[in-house]
Chains A and B, each alone.
Chain A
Amino acid sequence: MREKHSRPPISLQVKLSSIFIMASVLIFIVNIMLVIGINRMTGEMDSVYRDNIKLNELAMSIGEVQSSMTDYLNTKTTDSLEKYYKSEQDYNKLISELNNDVSGDSYDLMEKNIRNMSEEYLQTTGYAIEAKRGRNVEKYSSEYDKASRLYNYINTYINSLNKERFKSNSTNFKDLLTAFRFFETVTLIVMFGAALGSTLFVIGFTSSLMDPVRKLAKSADEVAKGNFEIETIPITSNDEIGVVTKTFNNMVVSIRQYIEQIKENMEYERNMQEKELRIEANLKEAQLKYLQTQINPHFLFNTLNAGAQLAMMEEAQRTYDYIQNTAEFFRYNVREGNTTVKLRDEINLIDHYIYILNVRFSGDIKYEKDIDESVIDVLMPSMILQPVVENSVNHGIKEMEGKGKITLRVYSKDDFVCISVKDNGIGMSVEMIDKVLSGKLREDEKPSPVGAHGIGMNNVINRIRLFTDSEDSVSIISEGENKGTEVIIKLSKE
């Protein structure tokens, strides 16, 4: 693969063109061979009867010599004489091409004889013509006789040679014909073979070209159906198809990545929505519980305010303070819409609450504060600390007859703001702590709420956890029975 990439890319056009050219070249070569073969065959066939043609010419030529001579001897016209000279010249030329050597070939020897006789013949006819001119009747008739005899002999020789040559040439021709038939068969086979070969070759080559395209199409089809889990297509060629394949592979990988990311985002959003819903539901639950327990907080608050003014007019300062604290306490509770408050507000609420309790229980509860003022503006859900403190009072120190002590500490630790509510009451067993934290405390196991608002620890813990998005944002520590309980809430500073 890497090797291929180092080569310069061969374009699809070049590949397709070369297929066509190569197939054509194959057929072309076969045809050239055919043409050359046929050419040679025709040449050979021609040569077979060349000798016969030559001999026929010879026979015709000597016939002309004889007839023109006879004509001249008969008529003595200049025309016939001219004709004689011309034909004699022609014939002379023809016989000069004949064989004049002794060889082992009887046909060659016949040619030689024809040549020699023809020379003699021409000489004789020459004498006859001369004698005719000299009006030597006896001589020219005897020369004519001799010439005629020679003419017959020569004709016989030519005919015989012609016949013999024809006989052997016919055998040659037969052999040639057999060879030609063989050649024809072989050519036909080769042509069919070449056609078949080039067809297979083209099919093979185009298939090897189209194979990646087919795979690409199949993969694209899969992708179109929504299946992105396909194998990457191997890149076999370095042409346009290779490029497209590579791009396709990259595209599929990219699409997969995008889908993954979108899925993650959706999951996150869903989680966020769920969380918000749950926070709201818990708050609603708290408010509902509160509303169930408080009949008409506005009426109560107004009533308390009226009581406070009345105490002021009667100059009963302690009553005024008490009613004022109580009114503040209720006012905090009846606020609307503020699900998130500052820690400072929560601490203030605890102050009011403890004051009210101390009035009710004649200052039995010792309340200590250790607050890091720099962190008390941190945000937290409302109605958290009061139920915790209430829980400490109710279950921890209510029975202790004035020795109970509540310690509220706010301090920063690492990135967190820690709120610790500690009592010195009856404490909790480890099992109890686990049950409370995991929310598995059954109703009958709960200590009976005495004067409680009814917002349970369960609700508080859930809301803190949802708000901080951390399971260990609430922890309960108790060292054993009668050794007190500490509830620590960890808030993020951010």
Chain B
Amino acid sequence: MLSHFFVYKKMKKKRYSTKKILLVYSAMIFIVVLISFAVSMYFSRSIKAAGKSGESHKSITGLDVDASDADFNKYYVMITSDRELDFWKSVYKGAFEEGVKNGVYVEMMGENLSEDYDEKELMEIAIASNVDGIILYSEESEEMNLLINEAVREDIPVVTVYGDSANSARCCYVSVGSYSLGREYGKQIIKIAKESELSNTTASTHMNDVLKVVVLVNSYSANSSQNLVVSGIKNVISTEQDIQTNIDMELAYVDNRNTFTTEESIRDIFRSQETPDVIVCLNETDTNCVYQSLVDYNKVGKSLILGYYDSESILRGISRNVIHSTVSVDTHQMGVYCVDAIKEFEETGNISQLKLVDVTLIDKNNVKDYLKETEEATE
């Protein structure tokens, strides 16, 4: 009654003509339609955004390369031992970026799978999946050779990287120059010997000191590249006449058959043997393991590590004086070479058997530059 009265009063004050009321009415309908339209716009937009975020290329190793819009016509896979290593991530990144440029989608095989397959299984999958090309880290083994040969029979070109299967039908091998790498290690060993002689002469006179060098090699592979490295080291040491120190070089075999044996083997070396003066590591895992073992067994300063690869932790090891020096392999270039090799093979059917990437030495003097780089990269 009161509200009725109120409305009546209000109406009296403003007389609403039919035209005005119709105007208000159509305005109301217009607003309703407008709101609905806006909501549906917002809705379809959010759906689109959701779809995009769900399906975007977020898979492998956190690459920030947006490949979802690129146009691909080839599909290569990369098969490595340990996908989580910075070394392989970097190689893959180089391969992927090169692939994007050439219309090739390069996949880190096994990345999206719920089960962990080894290289041979992944190789079988790749062959069955009829991919357009395989980039393979291989350690000389009969089974792998067979698989590579089978892939080649299926017209899938295989490029080995870093580790070779020289007796297979692979079309190309991309690696560091192992012999020159060995020579680089050798030079470092000589340098260490000279430094210790210098410090010894000032402190006391221990003539004909022995510098014990251990080179870690994988026990279960007929990998020719580590043999090349070792012969490279031997070559340098034997030709070096300028030192009095006897350099006693041995090979220590590291069991690399599965994921955890490497670490155990390395710890065994420290437990069983006399602590070597210099430990030469030929891959990233070994370097990390030795580095950690030295810290754990409190032998920092007693042994010097000649590392491999320039991951951040290794670089920090150098800056903390645990690792004497390391070699930086241009992993990006390695990845690029792999893709280029397959591409070239597809186009020409013929390709040189070996492609070598650049190697750089990192020690205390230039480690800061690399640390900065990696920091920038991570940022």
Contact = CB atoms under 8 A, between A and B. Distances in A.
Contacts of A163: 114
B93 to A, nearest CB: 15
Interface residues of A, number: 61
Given A116-B129, A153-B124, A211-B11, A186 B24 contact: no
Given A116-B128, A120-B128, A160-B114, A179 B43 contact: yes
B246 to A, nearest CB: 53
A26 B27 CA distance: 11
A219 B302 CA distance: 117
Nearest to B125: A153
A29 interface: yes
Nearest to A211: B11
Task: Give the dominant DSSP class at A's interface.
Answer: helix
A106 B112 contact: yes
B114 A159 contact: yes
A160 B59 CA distance: 12
Contacts of B67: 104
A120 B129 CA distance: 8
B54 A172 contact: yes
A37 B38 CA distance: 12
Nearest to A168: B54
Interface string B90-114: 0000000000000001010000111
Given A26-B25, A105-B55, A194-B28, A208 B18 contact: yes
Contacts, number: 159
B251 interface: no
Contact of A172 (B29, B51, B107, B121): B51
Interface string B1-17: 00000011001100111
Contacts of B25: 22, 26, 201
A190 B16 contact: no
B32 A116 contact: no
Interface string A143-175: 000000110010011011101100011011001
A171 B39 contact: no
B374 interface: no
B187 interface: no
Contacts of B50: 171-172, 175-176, 179
Interface string A95-121: 000000011111101101100110011
A176 B51 CA distance: 10
B112 to A, nearest CB: 5
B112 A164 contact: yes
A299 B356 CA distance: 184
Contacts of A156: 113-115, 117
A110 B39 CA distance: 36
Contacts of B115: 156, 160
Nearest to A120: B128
A382 B51 CA distance: 127
Q: How large is the interface on B (under 10, 10 to 19, 20 to 34, 35 or more residues)?
A: 35 or more
A456 interface: no
B69 A104 contact: yes
A102 B106 CA distance: 10
Contact of B57 (A106, A110, A179): A106
A185 to B, nearest CB: 10
A281 B217 CA distance: 164
Contacts of B353: none
B128 A201 contact: no
Name which of B17, B49, B70, B115 has the most chain A CB atoms within 10 A of its CB. Answer: B115
Contact of B128 (A29, A153, A197): A153
B21 A201 contact: yes
Nearest to B111: A106
Contacts of B8: 207, 211, 214
A160 B11 contact: no
Contact of A112 (B46, B112, B129): B129
Nearest to A234: B15
B205 interface: no
B33 interface: yes
Contacts of A30: 32
Nearest to B130: A116
B298 interface: no
A171 B28 contact: no
A341 interface: no
Given A150-B128, A175-B46, A201 B28 contact: yes
A190 B32 contact: yes
Contact of A26 (B29, B49, B72): B29
A415 B118 CA distance: 150
Nearest to A198: B28
Contacts of A105: 55, 57, 68
Interface string A180-196: 00110011001001100
B11 A29 contact: no
Contacts of B191: none
Nearest to B70: A104
Contact of A171 (B15, B53, B72): B53
A103 B59 CA distance: 14
The 10 closest A-B pairs by CB, nearest first: A168-B54, A175-B50, A113-B129, A33-B36, A207-B11, A116-B130, A104-B67, A117-B128, A172-B50, A106-B59
Given A186-B39, A208-B11, 14 more contacts: A25-B29, A33-B33, A40-B40, A109-B75, A113-B125, A117-B129, A160-B113, A182-B42, A190-B35, A190-B36, A203-B7, A204-B21, A205-B21, A207-B7
21 contacts: A29-B32, A30-B32, A36-B36, A102-B105, A102-B132, A107-B55, A113-B125, A150-B128, A157-B113, A161-B112, A168-B53, A176-B47, A183-B39, A183-B43, A190-B32, A193-B31, A198-B28, A203-B7, A211-B8, A211-B11, A214-B8
